[in-house]
Structure 1
Amino acid sequence: MKSSTGIFIFIILLSFFGCKKKEIEKVDELQFEKNVISNIFLEIVDSIYMDRRVMLPPPSPRIDFKTNKEDTIGYHAELKKYNLEQDSIKNDKTRILIGVYDDVKKISPQETEMIIKEINLSKYSYDISKETDEFKLDLTQFKNNKKFDFQNVDKFPNEKHWDLNDKKSLMPVGTIGITRIQFNKTKTSGILSADASCGGGKCGRGFLIIIKNKSGKWKIAKIIQTWIS
């Protein structure tokens, strides 16, 4: 009887430590992914962000309906103003305000289909836990970045109401969102999805991004545009 009880306790302990080991492994995996995202996030933003201040095209020549000719005087004045505004934006050293969707979620089914069309997934291990698990991107780690000022998009009105013609407000110039990463088996390469918008519900783009670990540093290997609006 004592022998059976001992075996039972031993099995319970094995099960307990086995569960604990899996929990630790899961935490380690998540921390690894968070570290990779922290390392690659700035390069992703710099590669795909949209700035609503520079999205509108230059003015087109107007036609004087009385003479049926181009109103060159008015057109050149507007074009000059437009070019001055664009030069001012390009030369502005103020940090670029970007609204960030800090929920790092799974890649959507539609994006998964796009991945299959673009990439051979046999080298990648699909982690089913990423379909339910998500985490918050810690923006404080980028607070000293000299080019970008990242703020949680929830601090601002819904981006659908942003005015694309507004170039001087304290609203973000655009938004960024990223998904969780699917890694290959050796964790030297990964796939994630990202999207960028300039607000107003009128312009946005989606991307699949392949990243690789080169000499201990994560870098973007390829960007594939998947949609545009």
Structure 2
Amino acid sequence: MSTIKFLFPVLAFIVLGCEQKKDDKQFEQKVLDEIFVEVVNSTYRDKRLYTCFPDLGKDIYDEFGEWIKKDTTGQHKRDLDCELKREAFKKDTLNLVIAVGNDGLINDSTEVQKYNTKKFIFKHLSELPKDIEFRNWERKYDKFAGAVYLSTIKFNSIKESGILSVDYACGGKCGLSYNVYIKKVNDKWIISKVQHTATW
């Protein structure tokens, strides 16, 4: 009998703890749904701009195979062509494809398409085989703009403000990191501050 008396409060504590975790997760999901697009819009950097560089001339070697220099013939035109391409990318701001990594509350069962807007089309990063340079994404989607990873949201004790980290990857060792601060104003969650924390 004493064992039952001991187990009952323990089990009750476990059940209540599980319910609390479930409620916390549902609350966080609701907030994420509300701010997701704005977080992306406030932090994304179009991969196409970060990885658009002018073509360089061919290498010139001497008769012994020793490198001499780059052939700069026509380099001015190549530089100009690249700049025109970059300017076109800056104006091309609709239907940008963003791959979303499985971090925080995002997983393969998350319906990321529910966040789609005229500006962004969201896809699961797991849709295509892993490729650190994202070549497969570039081949499939002309407007692939990069991959984003969002952490869980850490709230203050009264759940009226919070912070999450956001990482953008544009391929290889190319990426950006941010801390995004959010707060509740008039029953709506807004971004109060975006802090750039790293370029890698």
TM over 0.5: yes
Q: How much has 1:180 moved relative to structure 2?
A: 0.9
SS of the residue corresponding to residue 160 of structure 1 reads coil
User: Aligned pairs, how many?
Assistant: 185
- TM-superposition CA deviations, 1:149-199 (whole Å, max 9, x none): 111111223342335xx9775273211001111111110111211111112
SS of the residue corresponding to residue 219 of structure 1 reads strand
- CA distance 1:188–1:56, change in 2 (3 Å): same
- TM-superposition CA deviations, 1:22-71 (whole Å, max 9, x none): 32222111100111111121112112223221114664999xxxxxxxx7
- Of 204-213 and 12-21, more deviation after overlay is shown by 12-21
SS of the residue corresponding to residue 40 of structure 1 reads helix
Aligned to 1:114: none
Q: Are residues 1:153 and 2:148 paired?
A: no
Q: Are residues 1:222 and 2:193 paired?
A: yes
Aligned to 2:113: 140
Q: Which amino acid aligns with 2:33?
A: S
Separation in 1, partners of 2:195, 2:93: 30
Structure 1: unaligned runs, 5 residues or longer:
63-70, 105-133
SS of the residue corresponding to residue 102 of structure 1 reads coil
Q: Are residues 1:91 and 2:83 paired?
A: no
Q: Are residues 1:162 and 2:134 paired?
A: yes
- CA distance 1:206–1:79, change in 2 (3 Å): same
Separation in 1, partners of 2:81, 2:186: 48
Aligned to 1:38: 33
The structure, 1 or 2, with the larger RCO (C-alpha pairs under 8 Å, 6+ apart) is 1
Q: Are residues 1:173 and 2:168 paired?
A: no
Aligned to 1:128: none
> Is residue 97–residue 149 contact of structure 1 (8 Å, CA) maintained in 2?
yes
> Is residue 178–residue 195 contact of structure 2 (8 Å, CA) maintained in 1?
yes
* Equivalent residues in 2 for 1:195-210, closer than 5 Å: 195-199=167-171, 201-210=172-181
> Is residue 49–residue 175 contact of structure 1 (8 Å, CA) maintained in 2?
no
Q: Select which of 203, 206, 213 maps to 2:184.
A: 213
SS of the residue corresponding to residue 191 of structure 1 reads strand
Q: Are residues 1:190 and 2:162 paired?
A: yes
Q: How much has 1:135 moved relative to structure 2?
A: 5.8
Q: How much has 1:138 moved relative to structure 2?
A: 3.7
CA RMSD of superposed structures (Å):
3.4
Aligned to 2:102: 102
SS of the residue corresponding to residue 198 of structure 1 reads strand
Q: Which amino acid aligns with 1:141?
A: K
Q: Select which of 43, 48, 63 maps to 2:43.
A: 48
Higher helix share: 1
Q: Which amino acid aligns with 1:220?
A: I
- CA distance 1:159–1:205, change in 2 (3 Å): farther
SS of the residue corresponding to residue 101 of structure 2 reads strand
TM-score normalised per structure 1? 0.66
Separation in 2, partners of 1:141, 1:161: 27
- CA distance 1:23–1:202, change in 2 (3 Å): closer
Aligned residues with identical type, % of pairs:
29
SS of the residue corresponding to residue 103 of structure 2 reads strand
